[in-house]
């Protein structure tokens, strides 16, 4: 067995006098006449005095080392205690009987118990709620069997309030090898509240998504009714008009009816195309000459222009061919309607088909109030009015223009006119190769 360290023990200190004693005994035996009793007594007196001096010096040096070691241990203990006291998590130290031996400052703050109230108590009974005592005991039992655990749970404060915590529980060995229990608690109540709010928002979003899906399905159904069921009566009326014309009835009235039927067919086709856009479907693009289309749309606005006291100038080349869908007529209609509603004070509109920056462009120029630069993007958002003042429409016209631009591989926007007013444009971009 190893010798226990002592401030009085020094191997060399015990070997030195032993060796001298052996030497003195040998000399006494070999030279009895020389080694008189007085000399022997003097020798041992000198030896004892020397040993006393040496022992005193060794004792003083060892006491200094021991004092230094104790100071270092105290500093280390103070550092560890300060580290545990300053920890952001609540810490419990308990014995094998689950009795609390120590709690830190965060524990007092989190659970509301003072040290005097906590120490000596069974920590499962002190903190567990009525609902999870059995689960808590099971975890403690596992720790007692040497298993570390990390889990989420609910614990009770002194005031009876429950808090959500993340727990680390682990077995440790005490100074004499006995089993002790270590627990670390982190308050996760705020995280739990955010998680519940997130789940609530997710449920609300799912509900809203279903409502939107139902609304879209109803909208599609309504558009199907408009585009499908209206075709039949429109075709019947068209056939009746042709029959009446063949019977030599008043051609002027019949021409008026026939024109209205043509417009009705066009409206149905437009609604059908818009229904495809509303559900994200691609629309067909064909080679079109926009000149006759622009003239036809402008003709439909003659009465509105007259009522607003405005004139419309049309500048087009002989032909202006683009790859687009016939629904492009809606762009012309919405831009002209927009100009009549919001720029009537300028008394004039210009419809122009021309190339700009090497790309075909439709533009409608007005001479009303110039739109501020910071509003030129907003006006293409639904329900955003063009200018301050009385509400003149739903704000959906320019939103449709923007959506049609996306469907036709085009871009739309507005730039200032000279000397005042605005130029709304619809510019076709090159269609990418498949």
pLDDT at 85: 80
Residue predicted with more confidence, 377 or 18:
377
Taking only the tens place, the pLDDT of each residue in 6-16 is 544 555 555 66
Average pLDDT, the chain: 77
Is pLDDT of 1 > 70?
no
Strand partners, 361: 354, 427
Residues ≥6 apart with Cβ < 8 Å to 358: none
Interior/surface letters 92-106, b for 16+ CB within 10 angstroms, e for the rest: bbbeeebebeebbeb
Residues ≥6 apart with Cβ < 8 Å to 300: 333
Residue predicted with more confidence, 160 or 388:
160
**CA–CA gap between residue 397 and residue 379 (Å, rounded):** 10
pLDDT at 105: 87
Taking only the tens place, the pLDDT of each residue in 269-284 is 556 555 555 555 566 7
pLDDT at 277: 57
**CA–CA gap between residue 196 and residue 288 (Å, rounded):** 56
pLDDT at 280: 54
Nearest in space to 324 (alpha carbons), one of 403, 431, 414: 431
Whether the Cβ atoms of residue 342 and residue 313 lie closer than 8 Å to each other: no
What's the whole-number mean pLDDT along residues 116-137?
A: 77
Taking only the tens place, the pLDDT of each residue in 406-429 is 877 788 899 999 999 999 999 988
Decide which of 1.10.3470, 1.10.287, 1.10.10, 3.40.630 is the CATH code for 194-278. 1.10.287
Taking only the tens place, the pLDDT of each residue in 230-241 is 655 666 666 666
pLDDT at 317: 93
The Cα-based distances of 129 to 123, 164, 165, 282 in angstroms read: 12, 11, 12, 60
List the CATH code of the domain at 286-428: 3.30.565.10
Interior/surface letters 397-428, b for 16+ CB within 10 angstroms, e for the rest: bbbbbbbbbebbebebbbeebeeebbbbbbbb
pLDDT at 238: 66
Model confidence at 124, in pLDDT bands (50, 70, 90)? confident
Is pLDDT of 314 > 90?
yes
pLDDT at 389: 45
Neighbours of 7 (CB within 10 A): 13
pLDDT at 352: 94
Whether the Cβ atoms of residue 331 and residue 370 lie closer than 8 Å to each other: no
Task: Give me 247's structure tokens.
Answer: 């019977």
Q: Is the pTM of this model over 0.85?
A: no
Task: Kindly report whether the peptide bond that precedes residue 419 is cis, defined as omega within 30 degrees of 0.
Answer: yes
The Cα-based distances of 385 to 348, 349, 404 in angstroms read: 21, 20, 19
**CA–CA gap between residue 387 and residue 375 (Å, rounded):** 9
Is pLDDT of 361 > 70?
yes
List the CATH code of the domain at 87-187: 3.30.450.20
Residue predicted with more confidence, 172 or 248:
172
């Amino acid at each position: 067995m190893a010798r226990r360290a002592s401030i009085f023990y020094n191997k060399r200190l015990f070997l030195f006098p032993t060796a001298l004693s052996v030497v003195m005994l040998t000399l006494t035996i070999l030279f009895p006449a020389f080694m008189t009793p007085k000399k022997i007594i003097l020798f041992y007196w000198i030896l004892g005095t020397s040993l006393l001096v040496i022992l005193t010096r060794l004792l003083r040096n060892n006491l200094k080392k021991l004092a230094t070691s104790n100071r270092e241990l105290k500093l280390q203990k103070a550092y560890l205690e300060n580290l545990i006291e300053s920890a952001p998590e609540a810490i419990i130290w308990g014995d094998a009987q689950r009795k609390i031996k120590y709690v830190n400052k965060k524990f007092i703050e989190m659970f509301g118990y003072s040290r005097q109230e906590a120490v000596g108590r069974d920590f499962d009974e002190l903190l567990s709620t009525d609902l999870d005592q059995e689960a808590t005991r099971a975890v403690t039992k596992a720790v007692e069997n040497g298993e570390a655990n990390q889990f989420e749970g609910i614990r009770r404060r002194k005031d009876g309030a429950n808090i959500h915590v993340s727990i680390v529980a682990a077995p440790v060995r005490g100074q004499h090898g006995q089993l002790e229990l270590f627990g670390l608690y982190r308050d996760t109540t705020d995280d739990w509240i955010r998680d519940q709010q997130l789940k609530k928002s997710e449920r609300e979003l799912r509900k809203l998504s279903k409502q939107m899906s139902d609304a879209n399905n109803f909208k599609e159904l309504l558009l199907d009714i408009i585009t499908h069921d209206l075709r039949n009566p429109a075709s019947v009326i068209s056939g009746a008009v042709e029959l009446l014309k063949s019977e030599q009835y008043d051609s002027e009235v019949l021409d008026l009816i026939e024109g209205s039927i043509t417009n009705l067919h066009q409206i149905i086709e437009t609604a059908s195309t818009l229904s495809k856009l509303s559900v994200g479907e691609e629309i067909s693009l064909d080679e079109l000459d926009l000149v006759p289309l622009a003239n036809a749309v402008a003709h439909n606005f003659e009465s509105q222009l007259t009522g607003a006291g405005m004139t419309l100038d049309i500048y087009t080349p002989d032909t202006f061919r683009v790859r687009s869908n016939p629904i492009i007529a809606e762009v012309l209609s919405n831009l002209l309607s927009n100009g009549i509603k919001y720029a009537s004070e300028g008394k004039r509109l210009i419809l122009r088909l021309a190339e700009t920056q090497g790309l075909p462009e439709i533009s409608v120029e007005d001479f009303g109030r110039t739109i501020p630069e910071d509003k030129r993007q907003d006006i293409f958002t639904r329900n955003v009015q063009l200018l301050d003042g009385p509400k003149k429409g739903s704000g959906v016209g320019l939103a449709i223009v923007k959506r049609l631009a996306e469907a036709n591989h085009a871009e739309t926007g507005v730039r200032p006119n000279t000397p005042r007013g605005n130029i709304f444009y619809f510019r076709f971009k090159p269609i990418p190769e498949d």
